[in-house]
Amino acid sequence: MTTGVGSFKSYQLSEGRTTPVPVRVSPTDRIRAGIDALFDGSRDLSEVIEDVARLGARLIIQTAVEAEVEVFLGRARYQRPAAAEDARPGMRNGYCPATVKATAGPVTVARPKLRGTTERFASALSGKSIARSNALESLVIAGFVRGLPVRDVENTLADALGAEAALSKSTVSRVCQAIGDEFTAWPGRRLDGLELDYLFLDASMFKMHPGARAEPVLAAWGITTGGKPVFAALAAGGSESTDAWSGFLDELRGRGLRPPLLVISDGAAGLISAAESVLARSLRQKCLIHRCRNVVAKVPAAAHDEVRGAYWSIFDTEDLITAGAGPGQELAAAVQARIDAFAQRYGKLYPAAVKCLLTDREQLTSYLRFPAGHHKRIRHSNFIERTFGETRRRVKVIGRLPGEASCLTLVWAVLDRASRGWRGVNTTNTGLRLLHDLRHQLLDPPTPIRRTSHPAAGVRHICRGPTSGLVMMGVWL
């Protein structure tokens, strides 16, 4: 049984009876639950992103209103007046719905009601200009931007909502602090307990410094050995050079992150060079979606559909798997043969496109060494790129972000929420054995042991195998 104030919970009385007692849930907690429900995996991220934006805006406004009430009464929710030094007369008396408008559509928030006060409470968010088209979007941005000075946040809100809707400094600080505190703790957390099969790397450009060009924000997320997605790291890069990416990956390693089995990224030269240096034992997969765009960009517009279709038919392996080709060298060789056929077919017509396809071609089929059920998930990094696109859309509301810390906080806030909707992978027992073997082969290779039995006998090389026993001169002992 439920009510408007929350769900019921049973409490055991001394007589042995159970009586349902209502547990009051704040509007902000209900909104958070609604956001979490969007990411239950039943809908694709692209389908729920607008709902996320609307609920995110609603959460920020609701948090701001609740903070206003705390300031007005001089005490927190459920705090007794005697325990607060600046407590004022009055108490909370439920909520009434209030609707505000934005480009995303009408958004309903719970407006607090008070009683017993010596003066009337009026939320600053209920000004006449609240319906301006970008009001909610600007408010969400302002709430996420941690490094923006309080005065600038007030100005941003005033521009969005009208002068009548200016918030107090304490309210602005509470709204910004709530999100900022989460981000402050996140980048420094240890990663020793995080073991990844797959690591995805990407970057996106944002304007974050006055008078400077757009600069990259570097991001990493992965899929754990348990098949769960995890948002791993975020940092300002300055550029996408080898040094920038090497520093980013070195920092992850310094925090305890172990090498993954496979690194998936686009073909940026600096990123590839850094991954080959810092994660030398991991396999590398170039994003097939990025490579497709590069290939198609080198043919006439009239041929785009044909070449795109031919490109993706190369990597459609369902028929090969049905015919008995399992993950590994056999499947990769079959796809490489298809690449040769593509090159033969289009080499004379579109030599630039074919040259693009053939560059580092081995890294286009690395994913085929992994469980077949993972292939479509690990052959590209497009999901994080789509989320970066949503972040850029929000940034456009205010143009340039006011600083590096503000930019990172905004990007983190969007990616952190979106990452809850990223899908992981399911692995069969056969797939687990394959991953286990790959881990031994790539990350835990046999360790050579030198032993000299007698000075006159020379040196015999002994290798300890990945499972048990010793191998001497190629023979198991």
In-domain check, residue 156: yes
What tokens appear for 338 in the block? 């298809």
pLDDT digits (tens, 9 = 90+) for 206-244: 877 877 888 888 999 999 999 999 999 999 888 899 999
Do 396 and 357 lie in one domain? The reply is: no
Do 34 and 139 lie in one domain? The reply is: yes
What tokens appear for 285 in the block? 């997969």
* 403 or 250, which is more confident: 250
pLDDT digits (tens, 9 = 90+) for 75-110: 877 788 777 777 788 888 888 887 765 544 567 788
Mean local confidence (pLDDT), 380-398: 63
The residue behind tokens 């972000």 is: 401
Do 83 and 215 lie in one domain? The reply is: no
Supply the pLDDT for residue 389: 60
Supply the pLDDT for residue 250: 96
Supply the pLDDT for residue 125: 60
Supply the pLDDT for residue 64: 75
pLDDT digits (tens, 9 = 90+) for 286-297: 999 999 999 999
Do 36 and 144 lie in one domain? The reply is: yes
Do 266 and 337 lie in one domain? The reply is: no
pLDDT digits (tens, 9 = 90+) for 15-40: 444 555 455 778 888 887 777 776 66
In-domain check, residue 94: yes
Do 41 and 171 lie in one domain? The reply is: yes
Judge whether residue 157 has pLDDT over 70.
Answer: no
Do 343 and 457 lie in one domain? The reply is: no
CA dihedral 232, 238, 241, 242 (to 10 degrees): -50
Supply the pLDDT for residue 424: 85
In-domain check, residue 90: yes
% pLDDT > 70, the chain? 65
Judge whether residue 247 has pLDDT over 90.
Answer: yes
Do 458 and 362 lie in one domain? The reply is: no
Contact in structure between 229 and 419 (CB atoms under 8 Å)? yes
Amino acid identity, residue 442? Answer: L
* Top mean-pLDDT range of 153-167, 347-361, 422-436: 347-361
Least confident of 98-102, 136-140, 320-324, 350-354: 136-140
Mean local confidence (pLDDT), 374-384: 86
Task: Write out the residue range of the structural domain in which residue 300 sits.
Answer: 288-380
In-domain check, residue 70: yes
Of 185, 220, 239, the position where a domain reaches its end is: 185
Supply the pLDDT for residue 444: 80
In-domain check, residue 10: no
Do 174 and 46 lie in one domain? The reply is: yes
In-domain check, residue 262: yes
* 230 or 150, which is more confident: 230
CATH of the domain at 408: 3.30.420.10
Supply the pLDDT for residue 181: 72
Supply the pLDDT for residue 467: 42
Least confident of 74-78, 184-188, 398-402, 410-414: 398-402
Query: Could you give the number of structural domains in the chain?
Result: 4
Least confident of 256-270, 334-348, 387-401: 387-401
Beta bridge mates, 99: 108
Supply the pLDDT for residue 186: 86
pLDDT digits (tens, 9 = 90+) for 161-196: 444 444 455 545 555 565 567 778 888 899 999 999
Supply the pLDDT for residue 374: 95
Judge whether residue 463 has pLDDT over 60.
Answer: no
pLDDT digits (tens, 9 = 90+) for 418-461: 676 778 899 899 999 999 999 999 988 666 666 555 555 444 44
SS (H, E, C) the chain: CEECCEEEEEEECCCCCEEEEECCCCHHHHHHHHHHHHCCCCCCHHHHHHHHHHHHHHHHHHHHHHHHHHHHHCCCCCCCHHHCCCCCCCEEEEEEEEEECCCCCCEEEEEEEEECCCCCCCCHHHCHHHHCCCHHHHHHHHHHCCCCCHHHHHHHHHHHHCHHHCCCHHHHHHHHHHHHHHHHHCCCCCCCCCCEEEEEEEEEEECCCCCCCCEEEEEEEEEECCCCEEEEEEEECCCCCHHHHHHHHHHHHHCCCCCCCEEEECCCHHHHHHHHHHCCCCEEEECHHHHHHHHHCCCCHHHHHHHHHHHHHHCCCHHHHHCCCCCCHHHHHHHHHHHHHHHHHHCCCCHHHHHHHHCCHHHHCHHHHCCHHHHHHHCCCHHHHHHHHHHHHHHCCCCCCCCHHHHHHHHHHHHHHHHHHCCCCCCCHHHHHHHHHHHHHHCCCCEEEEEEEEHHHEEEEEEECCCCCEEECCEEC
Of 130, 165, 185, the position where a domain reaches its end is: 185
The pTM of this model reads: 0.63
Do 397 and 266 lie in one domain? The reply is: yes
Do 37 and 123 lie in one domain? The reply is: yes
pLDDT tier at 407 (50, 70, 90 boundaries)? confident
Supply the pLDDT for residue 141: 44
Do 112 and 163 lie in one domain? The reply is: yes
In-domain check, residue 249: yes
Judge whether residue 325 has pLDDT over 50.
Answer: yes
In-domain check, residue 375: yes
Supply the mean pLDDT for the chain. Answer: 76
pLDDT tier at 369 (50, 70, 90 boundaries)? very high
